[in-house]
Amino acid sequence: MKFMKTREIVKILKGVMAVWMAWCCLSCDRDYLRYDTNSKDVLYLIGTDSNYVSLNESALVDTATFRVVVALMGMPKDHERSYKIEVIDSSTTAVKDVHYKFPDLIFPADTVQDYLYITLYRDRDPELKNRRVELAFKLVSSDDFEIIPLSEYKTSVCHLFIEYVAVKEPWWWNSVEVLGTYNKKVESKFMELYHEVKQTNPTIYESWEEICVGNFEEYGYAIFDSRYIGQVPVKKYLLFPLYNYFLEHPEPGVEIPKPKY
């Protein structure tokens, strides 16, 4: 009988403890959800703090854009607000306006998430071809925002590793006699002419893309094979313009064979 009473007492104590713990948790949750209207809103970055960016030599433009998500913990406002970024000198080798440029740091009205678009420059530093550069920055407190690191993927720091990726010669280039010996400048101009056809003659461009399975770098040789496609458009839109361009803008070591009618 004594044993049964002891068991009943233990059950009662456990029940009391469970109720007390539940009340404590509920109290904590309510404290967490309570929003202090007198404090600044918190701004943070979403994503990993280390990012690798490749600037491809074959791109037609010498700039690229890296996007970082900027998010708000707090209440949206009906007006724009500014925020601040500070470059971490000890972890940065990139140079402002040579390797990168930040936009105006404005957080829009009526939103809890926006994007920071960082412009990256490929051709302003010749040495970028030989070594990568790093850009590390962090959000810092401003008149409008407080900065608090929250978790691994909600951070206040971003680190970019920026590198130049050289063009590799297409494996088929030198087997296509009409293009001459491979040269990066020739390839760049040729690709520019190729993509211009998308505007000047979309039907021809689509037929080329179909022949190349959407991958000109790998299957570009196919448009020069008369068994697959007529050569008149190739000469009209690519070979003659390419030949005439380097005739008017000669480059050392560049010789384009004159196309045959």
Confidence of residue 231 (pLDDT cuts 50, 70, 90): confident
Per the CB < 8 A criterion, the answer to whether 144 and 173 are in contact is: no
Residue 27 is assigned to a structural domain of this protein: no
Residues 146 and 211 in one domain: no
Residue 221 lies in a domain: yes
Q: Is residue 260 part of a domain?
A: no
More confident residue, 168 or 113: 113
Query: 47: left (phi > 0), else alpha (psi -120 to 50), else beta?
Result: left
Q: Residue 205 falls within a domain, yes or no?
A: yes
- Mean pLDDT computed over every residue of the chain: 84
Per the structure, the complete domain to which residue 45 belongs is given by 41-165
pLDDT over 50 (residue 26): no
Pairing status of strand 133-140 against strand 84-87: antiparallel
pLDDT band at residue 44 using 50, 70 and 90 as cut-offs: very high
**What pLDDT is stored for residue 200 in this prediction?**
93
CA-based end-to-end distance of the chain: 113
For residue 62, how many C-alpha atoms fall within 13 Å in the half-sphere facing its CB?
10
Number of domains in the chain: 2
**What integer pLDDT is reported at residue 163 of this predicted model?**
94
Q: Are residues 135 and 180 in the same domain?
A: no
Q: Is 9 a domain residue? A: no
CB atoms within 10 A of CB 99: 22
Last residue of a domain, one of 148, 165, 182: 165
Tell me the mean pLDDT in the region 33-46.
74
Residues pairing with 145 in the sheet: 41
Shared domain for 153 and 185, answered yes or no, is: no
Q: What is the pLDDT of residues 132-141, one digit of tens each?
A: 999 999 999 9
User: Looking at the structure, do residues 119 and 187 belong to the same domain, yes or no?
Assistant: no
Domain check: are 183 and 236 in the same one?
Answer: yes
Same domain? For 161 and 178 the reply is no
Residue 13 counted as domain residue: no
pLDDT band at 33 (very low <50, low <70, confident <90, very high): very low
Amino acid in position 208 = W
Percent of the chain beyond pLDDT 90?
A: 49
Q: What whole-number distance in Å separates Cα of residue 207 and Cα of residue 212?
A: 9
150 shares its domain with 209: no
The answer to whether residues 110 and 191 belong to one domain is no
Mean pLDDT, residues 194-206 taken together:
92
Give the span between the Cα atoms of 158 and 106, in whole angstroms. Answer: 18
pLDDT at position 7 is: 57
Of 146, 165, 184, which residue sits at a domain end? 165
pLDDT at 31: 40
Within 123-247, strands assigned E span: 133-140, 145-147, 154-155, 157-165
Same domain for 209 and 160: no
Q: Which of 140, 165, 190 is the last residue in one of the domains?
A: 165
**Mean per-residue pLDDT, 161-183:** 86
DSSP conformation class of 39: S
Give the span between the Cα atoms of 247 and 186, in whole angstroms: 12
Q: Is residue 89 part of a domain?
A: yes
- The answer on 190 and 155 residing in a single domain is no
User: Averaged over 113-138, what is the pLDDT?
Assistant: 95
- Are 106 and 150 part of one and the same domain? yes
